[in-house]
Structure 1
Amino acid sequence: MEKEETLRIDNYCFVCGKENPKGLKAKFISSNGKAKAEMILYKEYQGYSGIIHGGIIAALLDEACAYAGISLGYYTVTAEIKIRYRKTLKVGEKIIIEAFAEQIKSKLIQAKAQIKDSKDTIIAEAEGKLIIKEKIEKS
C-alpha cells in the first residue's frame, strides 16, 4: 500500500503564494476558524471586458475556506465546493474575502466563505467540504 504524500507549502500557490509571478498574492489573516483578506483584482484576471473571471472568484473562495481550516490546526484539501455568484465583480474594485470553519466531523471540515465589495454587498459565496489530511505540527 502506497503512503500518502505529506502536504508541503512552498510559497508558489496560485492564490496566496508570494513567489508566484502570475498568482493573485492574496494575504489571508486567520485564527480560531476564521480567515480574512482584502485585495483589488486587475485586468489580468478578467473574463468579459471589465469583469473578473468567475474562476478567479471561485479560487479565492476555495482558498479562504482552506485558510479557515488551517487556522483550526489542519492541512486540508477541498472535497467539494458549492458557489453562488450574486453580482459581477468589476476590475479594480476592492473586495473583502471572509471564511469560517463551521464544524469538524471525523476527517471533514465544513466551511463557508463570501466575497463582499466595499459597500458590503455580497459578490459571491461558497460552502465547502474540506478533507483533513494532517494535523499541523507547531514548531
Structure 2
Amino acid sequence: MKIRKALAATFGTLAMSLISISPASADSSGWQNLGNSNFHSCGTYCHTDVFSSGGGYVRTYLYTPSSNIKSVQVWEYDPDNADDFIITLDLADYWYKDCYVGNFTDGSNGEAEIYYRYSDSVFTGGDFVQVYD
C-alpha cells in the first residue's frame, strides 16, 4: 500500500511538471501574448511602450473608444541609432492586423523592439494595443 501511495505521488508530481512546462501564454493558434500598452500623448505623436519580438510576424489589436479608423505606425526602437519605420496599419476598434518584423531583429538579444505611434491630432484617450508574437 505504501508503494502505491509513493508511486501515485511520484506520477502526480511528474504530471504536474509536464503541465507547467507547456507554453502558458500561447493561445490555441500559437500566438504568444506580449502584453498591452496604452498610447501616451507626448506632443506630435502618441506612442506605446516597447514590446520585444523574436522576429517573424506580430499580431496587433487596437482598442479605442472612437469609431474612427486610425493609421497606426509600427516602429523598431534602437537606442544607438534613429528608430526604424516598419509599416502603417489602418485599424479601428477591435480590428487586428499581422505584420512582419523579422527584418528588424538586432542587438545582442536578436529581437525586434517594436512600438506603435500615431498622430497626436487623432488622440482620443483610452486607446491601447494588444500585441502577440
Q: Of the two, which has the highest radius of gyration?
A: 2
Relative to the length of structure 1, the TM-score reads 0.30
Q: Which has the higher contact order (CA 8 A, sep 6+)?
A: 2
- The structure carrying a bigger helix percent of its residues is 2
Relative to the length of structure 2, the TM-score reads 0.31
